[in-house]
Amino acid sequence: MIAPLMPFTLKGAIWYQGESNHGRPQTYKRLMQALVADWRDGFKSDISFYYVQIAPFTYKQNAAYLREQQLQALSINKSGMVVTMDIGDLKDIHPKNKQEVGCRLALQALAKDYGKKVACEGPRFKKMVVEDGKAILHFDHVDGGLTIYGGDALKDFEIAGSDKKFVKASATIVGDKLVVEAPELTRPLAVRYAFSSQATGSLRNKDGLPASPFRSDDWK
């Protein structure tokens, strides 16, 4: 369907895919890299490529691993990803709020292609450090600070120690960082956020853009 457009001149492309491959996350990043490389070759241009991370839904397999691969695909040059954790519909695999999706994609293009000074990224996990039995999380894209959506408290955080068994954790905003802890865990080794198919998340920046799900570990 795209081939007949080649090699017309494009400035960029936006990608909002179906998710029948959510059960094969291990191939996603390589497929995305191949797709973008093929399109850029066909259009004879280093076009920008902005895509949408899948929204919460009752998938049979854990879609968090596909979201993780989508996050890693940001290693592709001139790419960007829109997070939709806050505008999904657990009862509809095709959530209706496409207007907000379009607005967030537009922010990517306005900031990266047209030089507008607009925020286009939600908080992105950078690193975790442990202090006094608590996990301190650092993020990129939090110049305006962190905030909560969907309630009065942060949710969907889990923490684990050396046994690699995750338990529910509380999270508190302290400036531009998060403090994550659980009373039964004094030596945390890993934190996960919204790391399931149905989690809707709770963390965004003050620009109103939600954080992508993430994990600090690489455990199988």
Q: What is the CATH number of the domain that holds 18?
A: 3.40.50.1110
What predicted TM-score, i.e. pTM, was given to this entire model? 0.94
Same domain, 182 and 95: no
Please state, for a pLDDT cut of 70, what percent of the chain lies above it.
Answer: 100
Residue with more model confidence, 132 or 19? 132
Out of 112, 138, 155, pick the residue that ends a domain.
Answer: 112
Q: Cα–Cα distance between 129 and 141 in angstroms, integer?
A: 18
Same domain, 13 and 100: yes
Give the pLDDT confidence of 7-37 residue by residue, as tens digits: 899 999 999 986 788 888 999 999 999 999 9
Q: What angle do CA 112, 113, 116 make, to 5 degrees?
A: 70
Same domain, 128 and 209: yes
Are 188 and 217 in contact by the 8 Å Cβ rule? The answer is no
Out of 92, 112, 132, pick the residue that ends a domain.
Answer: 112
pLDDT band (50, 70, 90) for residue 138? very high
Q: Check pLDDT > 80 for residue 111.
A: yes
Q: Cα–Cα distance between 89 and 81 in angstroms, integer?
A: 19
Are 14 and 105 in contact by the 8 Å Cβ rule? The answer is yes
